[in-house]
A and B are shown apart, each in its own frame.
Chain A
Amino acid sequence: MLVAGLDVGSLTIKAVVLEDNTIKDFTIIPTGAEINKLTKDCLELTLKKTGDYFKDLKIIVATGYGRISIPFADKSITEITCHALGANWLNPDTRTVIDIGGQDSKVISVDKEGRVVDFVMNDKCAAGTGRFLEVMAQALGVKTEDLGKESLKSRRKINISSMCTVFAESEVISLIAEGCAKEDILRGLHEAIANRIGSMANRLRLENTITLTGGVAKNTGMVQALKKRLKAKVYVPPEPQIVGALGAALAAQKMAGNNI
């Protein structure tokens, strides 16, 4: 049975096509102004890769902040529920999910069935999110995908005191002007975010294993900083960015009555 999960995020759109509890393929594209069209394109691209047709999809579930703008989805479910489902499927030992996405970050407590027990979200600001790191990468002239690799070269600890994206950007520019190394600044930024996420995570009863999801989990420097801050067993899925879409596809599969 063929189903699809769509995660319409603030920075990227993700589509996962699932058949009989197996991921057939997935696609990640940047978000733009025409969310509906782009989401359809994202799904079509995935279907092209799997050799399936739109009409073959039994159920489509949408998640992410743009979930309510997708008319061709059969149902919309929040990314909190979807990340919990996806993380549980990828690693059944998951009891905590930390999702650092483009515009927000969330810490989710899950039970062994992948059901949400409790959750916390960041304040309504970009601090501690993918967007924050993007702005900093721009200020430092580093590609987003190289942030982790660069920061791991650091030999000196620098403290970044501002968590407001605008203030942190000016702080970074001042540090560059003072002659600080890019990698040290990056490490400082990652540690600052890890501290923020860490305090948020401690509001819940943190239990092992902690699964990191969302685009920021691809950043090795960030993962390292979080491991250090959380002092816990951390699992990073091979493609952390699609966990929400995967969860949506799993929900679609359940809806379709084929919960294998």
Chain B
Amino acid sequence: MSDDFNDDFKSGLIKKIAKNSHIYELGNRGARIYFRKSSKSFKLWLDFLFYQLKEAGKRKRPVVWTNIYTPSELIYSLDLFPIYPELISGVLASVGLANYFIETAESKFYSTDLCSFYRVAAGLVLKDWFPAPDLIISSAQLCDGSTKFFHNLSKYYNCEHYLIDSPYYDDEEANSHRYLVAQLKEIASKVDKITGRRLSQERINYVFNLANQTREDILKINELRENIPSPLSGWDAMAYILYMFFSSLGTKKGWEFYQTLVQEVKEKVDLKRGAIREEKHRLLWLHQIRPYYPNEIIQNLQENKGVISFEEVSQVYWGALNPQRPWESLAQKMAANFGVGPIERRIKVIYDLVKKYKIDGVIHFSQRGCRQSCGGAYIIKDFLQEKGIPMLLLDGDGADSRNYSKGQTRTRIEAFLEMLS
């Protein structure tokens, strides 16, 4: 009885603290002291993260829960405030808190076969630690777990859920862009009704211009990353940088972050300073994520002189957005996603990256519960093998550390790098 009371008391207290926007101000200050020796770009990410958490709590603008393949430019143009449960799950995993939420979700019948990032997010919802959404906008691209998860949430919070259904083929003649445009326009008009504000061209211009400038900076970084030794480790690129990649396009803070990162990467290139001391094997990482909980994968790679020179998730696959044709531009961005459609499309991009970044070996991280990425892994492997590029299929879990086996993972990575030698 007293344990239950203590648990309820603690949970209630944490809930109150978690929803108090001042706590994030304090958190940001604390984090800045703790990470005082980190790079400027990392600190800018911390600012952005805490700013998002703080502002969402204030609820000055409608809070939208969304996912990574919903263009953030759409969200910011609509003047909504986004929360990305998948990204937050990654952050929680990196500070060792994910399993607490995973266990909460599993105790409420969330299957262990559901992607762990959504189990963390479901746990957060059940614990009520986050500002509830006013509405949900999600994309069905690449991740079918998210569609059901957000649908479930819309029932839980009794709010609208707009799902952007993406056509399989990027084919203008087959009206695939028009199909997307119609959905985006419909969402915009519904959001107008919810917010009571009309979408302004001025706002679109502002957001799209920022997003385009940021896109230019990402392109610069990707070009700089062609250098040997690799100036930026993919391990970092898939962590805080990825958070910004998906959630900050169309914001001033996002542009500032990428401007800083360009400088940092350029500085390393000028000094010929690599991400690791001795670079022998240049690797390409496939799949959008990596394990975020404390693990030894990066040490295993580094000890064997392997560096993640690039990762497919950082590829800029879309063109500059045209503020005069916002819906068509966003539709084009979504339709250009090479992860959607026939596997040959993804293979073509992967092979281009292999050549561009002078890759020696490819690691495909097969996330448990992710059918989209794992389904094509063997086809990619066969293709690359014919081209003489070895590929390792590394089964694992990005957020649930219970599925990480240190010894087994080490053996796979070391054997792969020994093979490359």
Contacts and interface: CB of A to CB of B under 8 A. Distances in A.
Interface of A: 65, 68, 77-81, 104, 115-121, 123-124, 203
A118 B411 contact: no
A218 B420 CA distance: 32
A24 to B, nearest CB: 26
Nearest to B416: A119
B236 interface: no
Contacts of B410: 68
Contacts of B411: 65, 78-80, 104, 121
Nearest to B304: A78
B405 interface: yes
Interface of B: 378, 385, 390, 393, 395, 403, 405, 407-408, 410-412, 414-415, 418-419
Contacts, number: 39
Contacts of B418: 77-78, 80-81, 116
A83 to B, nearest CB: 10
B385 A78 contact: no
The secondary structure that dominates the A interface is mixed
21 contacts: A65-B407, A65-B411, A77-B418, A78-B414, A78-B418, A80-B411, A80-B418, A80-B419, A104-B408, A115-B419, A116-B415, A116-B418, A116-B419, A118-B385, A118-B390, A119-B415, A120-B393, A124-B395, A124-B403, A124-B405, A203-B378
Best-surrounded residue of A78, A118, A121 (most CB of chain B within 10 A): A78
Contacts of B412: 121
Best-surrounded residue of B378, B393, B405, B407 (most CB of chain A within 10 A): B407
A117 B415 CA distance: 11
Given A118-B390, A123-B395, A78 B415 contact: yes
A10 to B, nearest CB: 9
A124 B415 contact: no
A121 B419 contact: no
B212 to A, nearest CB: 43
Contacts of B419: 80-81, 115-119
A34 B393 CA distance: 33
Nearest to A205: B385
Nearest to A124: B405
Nearest to A203: B378
Contacts of A123: 395
Contacts of A203: 378
B42 to A, nearest CB: 31
Contacts of B378: 203
A115 B419 CA distance: 7
Contacts of A65: 407, 411
B353 to A, nearest CB: 21
A117 B390 CA distance: 8
A118 B362 CA distance: 12
A11 B414 CA distance: 21
Given A78-B415, A81-B419, A116-B418, A124 B408 contact: yes
A78 B405 CA distance: 16
B415 A81 contact: yes
The 5 A-B residue pairs with the shortest CB-CB distance in the complex, in nearest-first order: A80-B415, A78-B415, A124-B405, A116-B419, A81-B418
A55 to B, nearest CB: 28
Contacts of A68: 410
Contacts of B395: 123-124
A119 B412 CA distance: 9
Contacts of B403: 124
A203 B408 CA distance: 19
Given A78-B418, A124-B408, 18 more contacts: A68-B410, A77-B418, A78-B411, A78-B415, A79-B415, A80-B411, A80-B415, A81-B415, A81-B418, A81-B419, A104-B411, A115-B419, A116-B415, A118-B419, A119-B415, A120-B393, A121-B411, A121-B412
Nearest to A104: B408
B232 to A, nearest CB: 28
Nearest to A77: B418
A69 B82 CA distance: 48
A78 B415 CA distance: 6
A119 B419 CA distance: 10
Contacts of A120: 393
A118 B419 CA distance: 8
A116 B421 CA distance: 10
Contacts of A116: 415, 418-419
A207 to B, nearest CB: 14
B319 to A, nearest CB: 38
A118 B393 CA distance: 11
A113 to B, nearest CB: 13
